[in-house]
Amino acid sequence: MELKQYCFLLYLYLRFKRELYAPRAADTDVRHIMSFRTVASMQQQIGRHARQVGDIVSTQGVAGVVDRVRSRLSTWLKPKASVWDVLPEDVLKADLAHPPSILSLALDDGAPISINWVTGPAGPGSGGHTTLFRIMNYLERQGYSNRLYFYDTYGGDHRYYERITRDHYGVTCPIQKFSSGMRDAHAVMATGWPSAYAIFNSRCKGKRFYFVQDYEPSFYAVGTKSALAENTYRMGFHGITAGRWLAEKLHREFGMAADWFPFGCDTTRYHFDQSSIRRGVAFYARVGTPRRAVELGLLALELFASRHPEVDLHLFGEDLGRLPFRYVNHGVVSPAVLAGIYNKCLAGLSLSLTNVSLVPYEMLACGCIPVVNDAEQNRLVLDNPYIRYAQLSPHALANALHEVVTMPAFDEFAKRAAKSTNAASWDTAGASVDLALRGALAAERSEAFAGSIAARR
Residue 393: Cβ within 10 Å count: 13
When pLDDT is averaged across residues 341-370 and rounded to a whole number, the result is 97
What is the model's pLDDT at position 36? 58
Instruction: Name 315's Cβ contacts closer than 8 Å, sequence gap at least 6.
Output: 282, 283, 285, 327, 328, 329, 330
Please write the tens of the pLDDT for every residue from 123-166: 888 889 999 999 999 999 999 999 999 999 999 999 999 999 99
Report residue 115's pLDDT band, with 50, 70 and 90 as the boundaries: very high
What is the model's pLDDT at position 158? 97
Please write the tens of the pLDDT for every residue from 256-272: 999 999 999 999 999 99
Q: What are phi and psi of 115, to 5 degrees?
A: -130, 130
What is the model's pLDDT at position 167? 96
Query: How many whole angstroms separate alpha carbon 449 and alpha carbon 139?
Result: 27
What is the model's pLDDT at position 47? 72
Q: Using a pLDDT cut of 70, give the percent of the chain over it.
A: 84
Question: Pick from 422, 412, 311, 385: which is nearest to 372 by CA?
Answer: 385
When pLDDT is averaged across residues 106-121 and rounded to a whole number, the result is 93
When pLDDT is averaged across residues 5-30 and rounded to a whole number, the result is 51
Q: What does each C-alpha distance from 102 to 98, 203, 222 come to in angstroms?
A: 12, 7, 32
What is the model's pLDDT at position 19? 47
Residue 319: Cβ within 10 Å count: 11
**pLDDT over 90 (residue 336):** yes
CB 182, CB 203: distance < 8 Å: no
Domains parsed from the chain with CATH numbers = 2-77 (no CATH), 88-261 (3.40.50.11090), 280-424 (3.40.50.2000)
**pLDDT over 50 (residue 337):** yes
The string of DSSP codes covering 33-60 is: ---HHHHHHHHHHHHHHHHHHHHHHHHH
Q: Using a pLDDT cut of 90, give the percent of the chain over it.
A: 74
